């Protein structure tokens, strides 16, 4: 009986600590919005006759999203992606500069060729705002378009490299050359997304030595940025 009495203060302390931790954890959860409640940006581009004809990038405020690039007649095939915090911040900052696309006109009156029907969409809960254009001279919209196009290019290179690595190893040098050209010309957004497939190629001796060297060179260029 005495031993039980002596351990009661420790038991009370343990119970109080557990209760406090539970309260803190519940508050953290309450302060963390669910994935569906987070603000989300979507970029779509439709250009018949191009490859791909359809591009769709969706990203939420913590950088989680997906990419779908395909021909219009193909079924949807989104790939998950996780953007860096810096790129995510740039995307949402530019959208904010554009008023999250509320009542804005981006289409230029200048007559130009068909550059693809592009749509920006902002969604937060039940609020949805969008704007569609072919060509714009709005600087913030141009920057936002370029960022999304750079993400699409990265995802297309990843898909091409993964396909060649699995089904066409002899075609890897060409795929890597195309990737390197876009990287050197600063056409890629968040190129570090390519690191896993590049490491796989660089470290696997089943691929041509020239492909391994090129993959390692691209990796070094990305890591030096």
Tell me the average pLDDT of the chain.
89
Structure tokens at 90: 């740039």
Band (37; pLDDT cuts 50, 70, 90): confident
H or E segment to which residue 44 belongs: strand 40-46
Whole-model pTM over 0.75: yes
pLDDT at 8: 52
Q: Where are the domains of the chain?
A: 35-224
Query: In Å, what is the CA distance from 69 to each residue of 25, 77, 83, 154, 191?
Result: 39, 8, 17, 11, 17
* Model confidence at 16: pLDDT above 80: no
Band (18; pLDDT cuts 50, 70, 90): very low
CA angle centred on 216, ends 215 and 217, rounded to 5°: 90
Band (109; pLDDT cuts 50, 70, 90): confident
Structure tokens at 152: 């699409």
Residue-level length of the chain: 225
* Model confidence at 32: pLDDT above 80: no
* Model confidence at 75: pLDDT above 80: yes
Task: Return d(Cα 31, Cα 24) in angstroms, integer.
Answer: 11
């Amino acid at each position: 009986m005495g031993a039980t009495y002596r351990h009661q203060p420790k038991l009370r302390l343990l119970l109080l600590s557990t209760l406090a931790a539970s309260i803190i954890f519940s508050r953290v959860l309450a302060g963390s919005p669910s994935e569906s409640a987070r603000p989300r940006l979507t970029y779509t581009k439709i250009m018949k006759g191009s490859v791909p004809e359809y591009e769709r990038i969706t990203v939420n405020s913590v950088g989680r999203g997906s990419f779908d690039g395909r021909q219009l007649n193909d079924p949807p095939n989104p790939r998950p992606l996780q953007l860096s915090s810096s790129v995510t911040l740039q995307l949402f900052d530019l959208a904010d500069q554009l008023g999250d696309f509320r009542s804005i006109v981006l289409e230029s009156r200048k007559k130009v060729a068909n550059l693809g029907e592009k749509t920006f969409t902002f969604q937060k809960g039940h609020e949805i705002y969008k704007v569609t254009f072919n060509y714009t001279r709005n600087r913030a919209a141009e920057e936002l378009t370029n960022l999304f196009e750079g993400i699409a290019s990265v995802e297309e290179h990843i898909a091409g490299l993964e396909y060649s690595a699995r089904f066409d190893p002899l075609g890897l040098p060409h795929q890597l050359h195309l990737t390197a050209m876009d990287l050197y010309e600063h056409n890629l957004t968040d190129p570090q997304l390519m690191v896993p497939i590049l490491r796989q190629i660089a470290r696997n001796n089943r691929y041509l030595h020239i492909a391994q060297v090129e993959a390692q060179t691209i990796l070094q260029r990305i890591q030096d940025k």
